[in-house]
Amino acid sequence: MKSTRYFFGIAGVTIGILAFLSNLLLAQERIQVQPSGSMTWDQMVQIEAQSGNTSAPGRAIHSPLPGPGPREIGSSPEGVLRPGSPVDKRDVSVEPPPLRSSSSVRPPFAPMVMGPTLSFEAIPDNNTSIPPDTYGSVGPSHVMTMLNTQVRIQTKAGVTLSTVTLATFWTSIAGSKFDPKVNYDAGSGRWLAVCDANAALATSKVCFAISASSDPTGSWTFYEFDADAADLTWADYPGFGHNATWIAITHNMFTFAGSFVGAKMWVIDKSTAVAGGPLTTTVFPTSFDFEATFGTSGSTLQPCHTFGAEPTLYIADNPGYTSGGIRLIRISRITGTGPAPVWSVIPGSPFAGTGLFLVTNNFNFTQIDADQLGLATDIETNDPRMLNAVFRNSRIWCTHSAGLPVSPSASDRTAAFWYQLNPTIATPIVQSGVLDGGVGKHYYFPSISANSLNDACIGFSRSDATMFVQAVYTGRLGTDPLGTMYNIQVIKLGESSYTKFFGGPRNRWGDYSNTCIDPSDDLTFWTIQEYAGTNVGGGVDDGRWGTWWAKIVPPADLPVQLSYLRAVAAGQNSVRVEWGTITETNNFGFFVQKRRTGELEWTEIPGSFIPGHGTTLEPQHYSYVDQSATPGRWYYRLKQIDLDGTVHYTEGVQVDVVTTVSESSVPTEYALRQNFPNPFNPSTTVSFDLPTGGNVKIEVFDMLGRKVSDLLNELKKAGTHQVQFDASSLPSGVYFYKLTTKDFSSINKMMLLR
């Protein structure tokens, strides 16, 4: 039976209200916190060497305890429009109807966009802790990974400099550590780290560390906060963000019996942290965010990792409220001065004073665990809490997972939801999207970031009954249509089934991941994600997780804009690879690479080089026939080379090579292919794959969201299909074609050039 994760607990809500009432007499407290110690990275490495690096017994970190359950805030006030309403003008102006798909969608040129230029192992499973709590960050010269097991510093080429245990890194502070995170703060040129200690104990602590410079192999200073001086509650699941003025650390507070009490926040005057002496810290007491009129409060508050000189530190959370069945997220903020911060919700909510706003893409708070290949044991995906938030160019980007379909239907998959928010306007959701693979496909523990050009990248894990857990990502350009993302790309394929309990009740995964920006150019993305490694036996604890880094260069820096890439069976043992470009800049040419299903490495096909056209603004078309493709499933990609020798890779495309020319192959998953040719005049072919038969609808929309064609609406059998689109009556421009079935929806973009 599949497990579910959701927020619940009336007792927790009651306790939270009581805590709020008691806190009416308890104003926020300003404290001075002395350093607990300081230590260089070399000293940590020496301690590690002296300890002999003996393996600790495996420990299962508790699952993140749930906050209060889904709660109805009441009917919408008069005049408040719900997303999806025919008169909801906010939706029309912000996100045209054809783009509001429940699936990942892709603009044109997807094969060449958001390809990883480098990937390498972060930290493997040493069999001492589940889950790893996957997290790390990137600085000017180093990559730093901090997990529940170990802390590792690498070069940006993936060379490991040294590794210590989490306990050794935090040795200046006593206690059993868990839930670590580390960020590089480009504003101060420092590394910042947090973690918790002593779960479910009266000695519960919040730990903080800051480096002395941009070099993480130098000196660090460590601090600790008593989670609750009254020893009645303990701190779990840190939120962690910063701007030019403050460093904010948030926690969910629980009784020792596991009842949720409320959120608590420590706000550090950043100037005192950078100085390396005592920290000036303002403590916002448990349930500080309780709002009396509607009785609202939050949980798992995520302060933004803030880029630039923004004076306000914004916070996003997903507290579990609904209005008429529509979910709400909350936005709040910290203002004031370094030693005197003030917390408030942003104005403009339809429920005045709550900071709550109706989501554009609704979701199910019941989140089931994820299927995986080879085992009936599911992977824990946790719940729909907000997982991270960043602030860039006056916008908040944040993400969480949740169940689909929407209640009252039973959840049958986990999807990743993302948002771009403008906290200064009354309808702050500028755009939002959903990464949804369809029934039985699960996307979990997403993290998001945005660069200086408003490009965005999301990394996450995914699995289903036909797939070991993979580390993957997707992204979008700042100029792409609202709500869209490119094709999902694999960082690291899963290697086997995963199961590890260490005596606990759940097959733990996560509890989060991180996606960040390279401070060297403020453009390049890095993401660290978890995948299923190779298990070491058939025992209940013989599974192995792994963590992997990927460096992703946005397409604005790529010299070629690809309009399509496809591979088609061209006869027995033959595959024709076809691709086209819109523009080329200093393009020397292409090599064709391939790999078989199950293989990890790509092989360059001898003699496959195709010269490019240097620099051209004219569309170009290329093809290559591989005559050495034995029967089976193959993947093909391009290796594109600049005139200066710089190399870029496309994503892979799939093709099934059959035993005989007449043999047919039924697709294993839904897919909407890029139209061919593209650009086109006046007609083009749209291809799509159906793993099961059913009614298929394809509609075409213009840039304003107006439907210009009902291209297809009929029953189709399982298989690969094509349909012709004739645009003779339409003007030149960009159009969107949307495929919809019972279980799948996807959108692609095409260009008509007359």
Which residue in 604, 645, 638 sits closest to 620, CA to CA? 638
Least confident of 159-173, 237-251, 432-446, 623-637: 623-637
DSSP, residue by residue, 55-84: PPPPEEPPPPPP-S--EE--SPPTTPPPTT
> Band of the pLDDT at 11, cuts 50, 70, 90?
very low
Is pLDDT at 22 greater than 50 in this prediction? no
Which residue in 456, 493, 453, 488 sits closest to 473, CA to CA? 488
Is residue 216 within 8 Å of residue 41, measured between CB atoms?
yes
Alpha-carbon distance values, 103 to 123, 432, 689 (Å)? 32, 12, 15
> Band of the pLDDT at 194, cuts 50, 70, 90?
very high
Do the strands 150-155 and 160-165 form a parallel or antiparallel pair, or are they unpaired? Answer: antiparallel
> What's the alpha-carbon Rg for the chain, to the nearest Å?
26
Predicted local distance difference test score (pLDDT) of residue 307 = 96
Give the tokens for residue 132.
Answer: 């790893």
On the question of a cis peptide bond just before residue 140, with omega within 30 degrees of 0, the verdict is no
Alpha-carbon distance values, 333 to 97, 304, 336 (Å)? 31, 10, 10
Is pLDDT at 18 greater than 50 in this prediction? no
Which residue in 515, 492, 443 sits closest to 135, CA to CA? 515
Is pLDDT at 589 greater than 90 in this prediction? yes
State what percent of residues in the chain have pLDDT above 90. Answer: 65
d(CA 528, CA 533): 15
d(CA 712, CA 710): 6
Report the 3 state secondary structure along 325-337: CEEEEEEEEEEEE
Least confident of 14-28, 152-166, 311-325, 374-388: 14-28
Predicted local distance difference test score (pLDDT) of residue 116 = 63
> pLDDT tens across 77-129, in order?
333 333 333 222 222 222 222 222 333 333 333 333 455 678 999 999 999 99
> Band of the pLDDT at 152, cuts 50, 70, 90?
very high
> pLDDT tens across 557-570, in order?
557 877 778 888 87
Grouping H, G, I as helix, E, B as strand and the rest as coil, residue 702 is: coil
Is residue 266 within 8 Å of residue 225, measured between CB atoms?
yes
Domains of the chain in sequence order: 4-42+97-556 (2.130.10.10), 559-665 (2.60.40.10), 667-754 (2.60.40.2550)
Predicted local distance difference test score (pLDDT) of residue 658 = 67
| Better pLDDT: 309 or 283 | 283
d(CA 59, CA 503): 8
What's the average model confidence in pLDDT over 748-752? Answer: 85
DSSP, residue by residue, 77-109: PTTPPPTT-TT-HHHHHHS-GGG--SS--B-TT
> pLDDT tens across 465-477, in order?
999 999 999 999 8
d(CA 233, CA 252): 10
d(CA 114, CA 753): 25
Predicted local distance difference test score (pLDDT) of residue 115 = 56
Placement of tokens 């965005």 in the chain: 456
What's the average model confidence in pLDDT over 443-455? Answer: 95
Predicted local distance difference test score (pLDDT) of residue 113 = 44
Is pLDDT at 331 greater than 60 in this prediction? yes
> pLDDT tens across 664-687, in order?
456 777 888 888 887 888 988 898
d(CA 401, CA 385): 7
d(CA 233, CA 228): 6
> Band of the pLDDT at 659, cuts 50, 70, 90?
low
Is pLDDT at 358 greater than 80 in this prediction? yes
Which residue in 685, 575, 559 sits closest to 623, CA to CA? 575
